[in-house]
Chains A and B, each alone.
Chain A
Amino acid sequence: MSEPPPSAVRDRLGERLVRAIASAQTHADGTDSLMQEAGRATGARVVVLWILDERARALRWAGDWGADADAQAFRDACRRITFAPGVGIVGEALEADDPVWKEVAAIPRATPALAAGLRAVVAAPLGGPDGPLGVLECFTASAEEPAPAVLEDLRLVTSQLAGYLGRLRIEERLQASEERSSSIVGAALDCIVAMDHRGRVLDFNPAAEATFGYARDAVVGEVLADLIIPPELRDAHHRSLSRYLETGEPTILNRRLELTAMRADGSTFPVELTVTRLGTRRPPTFAGFIRDLTANREAEVEHERLLREAMLSRAVAEAAQERSEAAQGATEAAQRRLMLLARAGERLIAGGDYERTMQEVAELAVPAVADWCAITVHEGRGVRRRVGTAPSGAPEPEAPEADRITVPLRTPRRAIGELALAMTGSGRRLEADDRAMAESLAARCALAVENGRLFAERSHIADTLQRSLLPARLPEVPGLDAAARYRAAGEHNLVGGDFYDFFRSGDGVWTAILGDVTGKGPEAAALTALTRHTLRAGALRESSPMANLQLLNEALLAARAHDASAARFATVVYTRICRSNGRVVVTVSTGGHMPPVVLRADGAIEYVPISGTLLGALEDVVLDEEEIELAPGDLMLLYTDGVTEARPREPRFGEQLLEQVLRDHLGAPAARVVEALEHAVVAAQEGEPRDDIALIAVRAID
């Protein structure tokens, strides 16, 4: 039987190699089978497989095959060593890209190799498409160099082994990659759902299982839309998928979308969805990355609820502030009106010149309640006169009707004027309460105007009456310098109780009288008239001052007899002044009045030592007469208690003041003396005198 040709042998070897690979149950089985075939092809007793560790750049033992057990020690020695590329026969074979033959005596493992009966080694590289994978060593008991056919067979074996190992390596890498992907998908917190072009589920990770309530095995192969998309959104989903498949036009791919998803129990919840296409293969598959936004949405809703509450609280606070300010404005306006009425009331009650009062009232109203105020009074025959304007002198503004209030000043009998308020430029508005206030203010003004007018009328009457009871002026008396002064106290509309008179009562004889009757007003006027006329009449018939005072007492008593309702008393100092032969002799009598005081030319002050009974009280009065002489420069002063009682709580004040003024005016004309004394008394009382003041000064001159 002839030897088969080498090609046929090699074909059989190839078939064996393919079968060995195909029948291998494990990767190790396949490798072992191929190493065994290498041993058979080369007659090797031991075959060792070295695999290149690319990261370490080292060749490491990866397996071996032995024909018998004697080589075990050598095989164990091989396990413990590594080769760098280019080092040792293994490293050389890796770089040589072709089998390398050596006797084992030439390699570092010679000792264990020889001990195992091995004599030579051929090392063949395992070339892969991306570079060498390793080296296969075949140790033989023969020291002969292998024949070319043997090397060719070895190349065939190593080629198959390299292919096999390459596939194993790819499978390992794929498996590792899949394991990594699976781990990532499985551990992902987000839901990951894979879907094919028909919309059927390819994968459903644990997070999706937990979120949607489906088991993976139950949903793989099912239509995804029917599982997790609410019915009302499914049509849109189907349309979107169809459009993409038809046109390749992505509408939702790789975009982050917020949608509503559906759980297995039919409940819906918000999700964020990102869909991406997996790879480029056709038909396409898709992965959906779904994040449950329920917690986010709840937080967002809660955040907005708090925001809403904050906005509402702010609005409520603003409204409350507006209402508060409106209420405060109304309160302040009411307070301003009340304050105006109170202040105007005080001013109106104070009385005095009503025109000045009206001006003050108008000024009180502006700007408190209005921008402009005017008070006008009617003066009869259609004449109207403005008595108050604020701002002072401001013309009547052209304000619209809504910004103007005019109310009458009305007395019980008639309208006597108008009060007008207007808003001009302040932006304020006149309100109903302002009208009520204006009416109240006008009523008070009307009363004040009416009272002012009555007061003026009565003052005029009283003044006229008062002047009728006093001499219009003192007569010129040769050798005498005489002057008088009169000042009524209190209301100007009442006739005072003090009086004086100075008249010629005979040839070279003059009478000066000064007194004080009880009461004020009409009663005092009547009593003064009685007193004055009685004494005037008496002085013409009777020269004795004392007798004339006696006559007056009787007249007063007689008058009281006619009208017992009122007491009629009077105090009077009566002086009869005779000038003859250059001398001035004065006869003095007093009925209850202070005696005259004399300022001598040398400055000495003397009170005439005379006294007498009040007149009109008793039938029997005690009266007296005293005669004094006035030398040139001497001055006699008659005065009422308005002087001496300037300060009632200081009994001596009035007399001291009187004496001081006299001393200060030594040698002064009579008119200056009485004027100075009146001023001093008024000033001493810090205001209006409480009592009438009547003064007569008679100064003897050369």
Chain B
Amino acid sequence: MPDPDRHRRIAVNESRFREINDRLADGLGSLRHPPEHLDFVCECAHLECRAKVSLTAAEYERVRADPMLFAIVDGHEVPDTEDVVARADRFTTVRKHRDVEDIVTATDPRAT
């Protein structure tokens, strides 16, 4: 049975990690010699997760372009709250379900 409260809590958590990563991306963008792959924190909902995901700047921007997308370590997806839309060697992209669209959109640091 769907648990809307849990879905919202997970969405809020993942949105916070997205904010952290966006600040990190800002900082990395100021480097003169950025490496090809940049490390970010996994944006999954697992409270015990301490993993990092590695993306190119372009890959990160593609994920961030859609407020419903999050970058996580492969296997960290929570199937009842999100769908895997792409699996790469270094990370997996998930799309949040519609029931939390208001949260992930409202908390998107790039939303104006």
Which positions in A face B, CB cutoff 8 Å?
297, 300-301, 304-305, 307-308, 311-312, 314-316, 318-320, 322-324, 326-327, 330, 402, 429-432, 434
Q: Contact check, B20 vs A311: say whether CB atoms are below 8 A apart.
A: no
CB distance from A325 to the nearest CB of B (A): 9
15 A-B pairs within 8 Å (CB atoms) are namely: A300-B33, A304-B32, A307-B31, A312-B24, A312-B40, A315-B21, A315-B23, A315-B24, A316-B41, A316-B52, A322-B17, A323-B13, A323-B48, A402-B4, A431-B6
CB distance from A11 to the nearest CB of B (A): 77
Q: Contact check, B31 vs A432: say whether CB atoms are below 8 A apart.
A: no
Nearest residue (CB) in B for A302 is B33
Q: Contact check, B41 vs A315: say whether CB atoms are below 8 A apart.
A: yes
Given A308-B28, A312-B52, A429-B8, A322 and B33 contact (CB-CB distance below 8 Å): no
Q: Contact check, A300 vs B32: say whether CB atoms are below 8 A apart.
A: yes
Taken together as a complex, chains A and B put the C-alpha atoms of A485 and B6 apart, in Å, by 63
Q: Contact check, A319 vs B20: say whether CB atoms are below 8 A apart.
A: yes
Given A315-B40, A315-B41, A402-B4, A323 and B31 contact (CB-CB distance below 8 Å): no
Q: Contact check, A304 vs B33: say whether CB atoms are below 8 A apart.
A: yes
Chain B positions 13-69 with a Cβ under 8 Å from a chain A Cβ: 13, 16-17, 20-21, 23-24, 27-28, 31-35, 38-42, 46-50, 52
Nearest residue (CB) in B for A312 is B39
User: A323-B47, A429-B5 provided; 12 other pairs, C-beta below 8 A?
Assistant: A300-B33, A304-B31, A311-B28, A312-B52, A314-B24, A315-B23, A316-B41, A319-B42, A319-B50, A402-B4, A429-B9, A431-B5
Q: A323 is contacted by which of B3, B33, B35, B49 (Cβ under 8 Å)?
A: B49
Taken together as a complex, chains A and B put the C-alpha atoms of A314 and B49 apart, in Å, by 16
Nearest residue (CB) in A for B40 is A315
B9: chain A residues within 8 A (beta carbon): 326, 429, 431
Q: Contact check, A315 vs B20: say whether CB atoms are below 8 A apart.
A: yes
Which positions in B face A, CB cutoff 8 Å?
3-6, 8-9, 13, 16-17, 20-21, 23-24, 27-28, 31-35, 38-42, 46-50, 52
Q: B6 is contacted by which of A314, A320, A432 (Cβ under 8 Å)?
A: A432
Task: List the 8 closest A-B pairs by CB distance, nearest first.
Answer: A431-B5, A319-B41, A327-B47, A315-B24, A311-B27, A432-B3, A322-B16, A323-B47
B34: chain A residues within 8 A (beta carbon): 304, 308
Given A300-B33, A301-B33, A320 and B13 contact (CB-CB distance below 8 Å): no
Number of residue pairs A-B, CB distance < 8 angstroms: 73
CB distance from A302 to the nearest CB of B (A): 10
CB distance from B16 to the nearest CB of A (A): 5
Given A311-B24, A430-B5, A432-B6, A319 and B17 contact (CB-CB distance below 8 Å): yes
A430: chain B residues within 8 A (beta carbon): 5
Nearest residue (CB) in B for A328 is B47
Among A305, A316, A330, residue most surrounded by chain B Cβ atoms (within 10 Å): A316
Given A300-B33, A311-B28, A312-B39, A318 and B5 contact (CB-CB distance below 8 Å): no
CB distance from B87 to the nearest CB of A (A): 22
Nearest residue (CB) in A for B38 is A308
B42: chain A residues within 8 A (beta carbon): 319
Taken together as a complex, chains A and B put the C-alpha atoms of A326 and B16 apart, in Å, by 11
CB distance from A328 to the nearest CB of B (A): 9
Q: A322 is contacted by which of B20, B27, B39, B46 (Cβ under 8 Å)?
A: B20
CB distance from A462 to the nearest CB of B (A): 48
Q: Contact check, B28 vs A322: say whether CB atoms are below 8 A apart.
A: no
B35: chain A residues within 8 A (beta carbon): 305, 308
Q: A326 is contacted by which of B5, B13, B40 (Cβ under 8 Å)?
A: B13
Q: Contact check, A308 vs B6: say whether CB atoms are below 8 A apart.
A: no
A300: chain B residues within 8 A (beta carbon): 32-33
A429: chain B residues within 8 A (beta carbon): 5, 8-9
Q: Contact check, A316 vs B31: say whether CB atoms are below 8 A apart.
A: no
Taken together as a complex, chains A and B put the C-alpha atoms of A324 and B13 apart, in Å, by 11
CB distance from A626 to the nearest CB of B (A): 80
A434: chain B residues within 8 A (beta carbon): 5
Taken together as a complex, chains A and B put the C-alpha atoms of A320 and B23 apart, in Å, by 15
Taken together as a complex, chains A and B put the C-alpha atoms of A300 and B38 apart, in Å, by 17
B39: chain A residues within 8 A (beta carbon): 308, 312
Taken together as a complex, chains A and B put the C-alpha atoms of A353 and B52 apart, in Å, by 58
Q: Contact check, A320 vs B50: say whether CB atoms are below 8 A apart.
A: yes
CB distance from A399 to the nearest CB of B (A): 14
Q: Contact check, A318 vs B20: say whether CB atoms are below 8 A apart.
A: yes
Taken together as a complex, chains A and B put the C-alpha atoms of A311 and B31 apart, in Å, by 11
B24: chain A residues within 8 A (beta carbon): 311-312, 314-315
Taken together as a complex, chains A and B put the C-alpha atoms of A307 and B28 apart, in Å, by 9
Nearest residue (CB) in B for A331 is B47
Nearest residue (CB) in A for B27 is A311
Taken together as a complex, chains A and B put the C-alpha atoms of A315 and B48 apart, in Å, by 15
CB distance from B51 to the nearest CB of A (A): 9
Among B20, B23, B47, residue most surrounded by chain A Cβ atoms (within 10 Å): B47
Taken together as a complex, chains A and B put the C-alpha atoms of A320 and B50 apart, in Å, by 7
B8: chain A residues within 8 A (beta carbon): 429
A318: chain B residues within 8 A (beta carbon): 20, 41
Nearest residue (CB) in B for A258 is B32
Taken together as a complex, chains A and B put the C-alpha atoms of A268 and B62 apart, in Å, by 33
CB distance from A555 to the nearest CB of B (A): 68
Taken together as a complex, chains A and B put the C-alpha atoms of A104 and B29 apart, in Å, by 91
Taken together as a complex, chains A and B put the C-alpha atoms of A319 and B9 apart, in Å, by 15
Given A319-B41, A323-B13, A308 and B4 contact (CB-CB distance below 8 Å): no
CB distance from A307 to the nearest CB of B (A): 7
CB distance from B23 to the nearest CB of A (A): 7
